Structure 1
Amino acid sequence: MRARVGQRVPVVVQSRGRRRTGARVLWVAAETVVTCGVVVLLLVVHQLWWTNRQARAEALQQVRVLEREWDISPPVPGATPGDGGSSPTGDPTGDPTVDPTGAPSGDTVVPSAAPSGDPAPARPGAAPSSAFAVLRIPRLGLTVPVAHGVSKRSVLDRGYVGHYPGTAAPGRTGNFALAGHRNTHGEPFRYLDRLAEGDVISVRTRGATYTYRVDQILPRTAPRDVGVVRAVPRSIVKPSYGYDAPGSYLTLTTCTPEFSSAYRLVVWARLVA
């Protein structure tokens, strides 16, 4: 058939320029997604692997330094064993709005007169947050230095366990209360939930080694449960957990569940030797 005279035949013209522009946009978008994914992956690797590696190495080195120093320079006769100045009977109840349990995944607020996030000095001339003891938990295969204060930057993020200002010295009457990270930065208390009643915990200082035995475990409490670090520890959120009489207690606190700071896990132990 012939096309009728004067009838227009439609012609479809494809624009190469538009196709190229669309492909370029898709390519840029794909590159952006991949780049963002790589950045996120690097951040995860840094938090979950690199911070642990760095903090564990530093903590282990600090343990070696402490124990070498103690072996070379024994305690002065007549000196009181312990951490060198923390109150043996302090009651760090403080402001009921503060977080008494370390908040390892957030900013730590110290339940004492010390400014928030700043460890209280332990003794004249002592460096802030200086390590003064070595904590060992055989069941967890854990050996970690204990430092003054619970500041993230100068204590917890270095892989150390922090000693709450105002709580008792190791081996003394009262509550020797400690905080540590559950995840990242050495995560010394990663497996604290694996402890069971009767497990042994030791604390070595320059003057002596103290042995505690796990007595009670509070699986979950509020971050602001200040009762758990008092001289006679007892939860104010769950009063069925804790003690009624003075004694020599050790308290370990960390965040729970893992990778969250929603609650606190608390382990209590009594001095046995």
Structure 2
Amino acid sequence: MRARVVAHTDRRRRALLRRGLWSGGELLVTVGVVLMLLVVHQLWWTNREARQGAERKVQALEREWGEPAGPSAAGSSGAQAAGSSGAQAAGSPAKGTGRGESRAVAVVRPALSRAYAVLTIPRLSVRVPVAEGVSKSRVLNLGYVGHYPGTAQPGGAGNFALAGHRNTHGEPFRHLDRLRHGDTVTVETKAAVYTYVVDRTLPQTSARDGGVIAPVPRSTVRPSYGYDRPGYYLTLTTCTPEFTSRYRLVVWGKLASMRPRA
């Protein structure tokens, strides 16, 4: 009886199979490492960089505002009295000035992408710059909160509407859903400090629901949420659920007091 001879082609085929499996395994490990690094970059590094940059900008604004702010200071900085819905004219009651009097504070029209105010939300331990516009690359990804162009400015009649990231890039609105009725939100500018009080929350609406940032905010998707008369409103918007951008979470507040910077 003749012994069975293993063909060279069989050995070659098995060797190629082992090599392919090994290469495939290496490729999967490499892809896994790259994906892990991307996740670390998005969830940790962008937050670290954005938060540090936002903190530096807040400090820079505070240094800039070191001198007492008044009508002359506001005028010398090139601020213009607003005459449109994007920057409403001053003249709203300035409550909390210390003597009960009403004082008008000029409302500025900032340059696009320029940080010009500081937003503070005590409940969330948030203190971040507010910049004009909602560009991701020039505003939101820097860890700033963005002001919707065309909406009122701080303290102005109408709706001062802001947007911020909920995840990554500083995520200043990560816990926006924790705000409750009666919580305070302050907005500081070179001219004044405005205090808003949280009034209502819209847990979820369409990303295209422009009614929530209208001068009299009311959802066009869920009309039972919103207001029906003019006022001095604050709107905070962010994405929901977390780690998606499919819907929007909205928090509304009303102006409670205005204190000119002494």
**TM-score bracket relative to the smaller structure:** 0.7 to 0.9
Alignment of 1:256-267 (within 5 A): 256-267=240-251
Spell out, residue by residue over 1:23-72, the C-alpha distance to the aligned partner (whole angstroms, 9 max, x if none): 21111111000000011111111111111111111100000000111013
CA–CA distance in 1 between the matches of 2:5 and 2:79?
89
Q: Which residue of structure 2 lines up, in the alignment, with residue 33 of structure 1?
A: 28
- Whether 1:13 aligns to 2:6 is yes
| Per-residue deviation, 1:21 | 2.4
Spell out, residue by residue over 1:128-166, the C-alpha distance to the aligned partner (whole angstroms, 9 max, x if none): 311010000000000000000011110001000000111
> 2:60 is paired with a residue of what secondary structure?
helix
Equivalent residue for 2:115, pick from 124, 131, 142: 131
Runs (5+) with no aligned partner, structure 1: 1-7, 93-120
Alignment of 1:181-260 (within 5 A): 181-260=165-244
Q: Which residue of structure 1 lines up, in the alignment, with residue 157 of structure 2?
A: 173
Larger mean CA deviation between 222-231 and 64-73 belongs to 64-73
- Whether 1:55 aligns to 2:50 is yes
The alpha-carbon distance between structure 1 residues 215 and 58, as it changes in their structure 2 partners (threshold 3 A), is same
Q: Which residue of structure 1 lines up, in the alignment, with residue 147 of structure 2?
A: 163
Which has the higher Rg, Structure 1 or Structure 2? Answer: 1
Runs (5+) with no aligned partner, structure 2: 88-107, 258-262
In structure 1, give the amino acid aligned to 2:23: V
> 1:166 is paired with a residue of what secondary structure?
coil
In structure 2, give the amino acid aligned to 1:13: V
In structure 1, give the amino acid aligned to 2:166: R
Q: Which residue of structure 2 lines up, in the alignment, with residue 103 of structure 1?
A: none
Equivalent residue for 1:22, pick from 10, 14, 17: 17
> 2:197 is paired with a residue of what secondary structure?
strand
Q: Percent identity?
A: 59
Matched positions, count: 233
> 2:198 is paired with a residue of what secondary structure?
strand
| Contact persistence 1:86–1:167 (CA under 8 A) | no
RMSD: 2.3
CA–CA distance in 1 between the matches of 2:81 and 2:153?
6
